[in-house]
Amino acid sequence: MPTRVRSHAKINLGLYIGAPRPDGFHELLTVYQTLEMHDFVTVSAKPASQTSIQLTSNDVRVPTDSRNTAWKIVALTLQTLEISAEVEIHIEKQLPVQGGLGAGSANAIAALIGLETELDIESRLRNWPADRLLIASKIGSDVPLFSIGGTVLGLDRGQEVYPLPDIEPTWCVVAVPTVGVSTPQAFRDWDTLCSARGLTQEASAGKLKQLSRAYASAFASGSSGVLSADSDRRKNLAGPQESALVRTGIHSWIANDFEQVVFPQHPTLREIKRLLAATGTPEAAIHASLSGSGSALFGLYLTREAAEAAVARLEQVPDVAASITRTVPRSVYWPEMIV
């Protein structure tokens, strides 16, 4: 019987980018967070004398050949484990195909989970979870985070990942405009900005190391670190509500460096963030930001009512699809992955 897997979206709670390295890549520091919103990936697989992979989707924009990350990770896994199999993959898209939510990368991990379930891979390999993470890192920078789920620290190009203490499930509004953002162009604009500011690789490496320590300390501190909201709202709550609020807020020092180069090119995205944030109002977001290089943006809220108010505000911006979802902690992400 085929295995059906939830393929969750992600947001970047924060994203700091270093100056370009000699190899053309950039050192990154980010905190990933998985969301309830998801695609479905269905996998059927059986041993065969020769490997064959077939991929289909309900969305014509999804590649159905070896360009697809789900195809790539299945092919690499079978090759690495020296297994031949007939594999069928179906991707039921509900997430945007592009937009900074990691949908394609999540599809890859979902396909891998389906494959390992179908072929009972984990029971045959003692170090399979570690091998899964290694294979994921060879497919794409965003893929390994979905091998962990919940709140995840990403380093290097984002593919070096470590689990952080989870934030408590929090209401989230994801806004996806029709305007597209080119990630390669965003990096080129960032390089130009670094050059204008005289930011060297050495200087940015020091900044990223300092921020990495700050992230680790803040998330580990629980009640008093990165996860605390403003005191005016906190003092109106008591008991368990107050402790939950402390764990679900985001300090203002978390930011996304891409906003410095993407917003000037796409002013509409800056306006969407302003509407999501609603600073100074009772429905203000705990945190609002661009996710990755965009074009998706998100806001985190204390209540569903505040999230619904954000969706209503976004109605004044044309061509923006807004969805209400919640963040997913690791303790929920894995038990509910296979449908």
Q: Which residues carry out catalysis?
A: 10, 142
β-strand partners of 172: 300, 325
Residues 6 or more apart from 67 whose CB is under 8 A from it? none
CB 258 within 8 A of CB 17: yes
CB 142 within 8 A of CB 11: no
Distance, CA of 81 to CA of 75 (rounded, Å):
10
CA separation (Å) from 118 to 37, 221, 226? 24, 40, 40
Reference 292, options 111, 157, 163, 170; nearest CA is 157
Question: DSSP alpha helices (H): ranges in the chain?
Answer: 69-81, 103-119, 121-124, 128-137, 183-197, 201-220, 231-234, 239-248, 259-265, 267-277, 304-314, 330-333
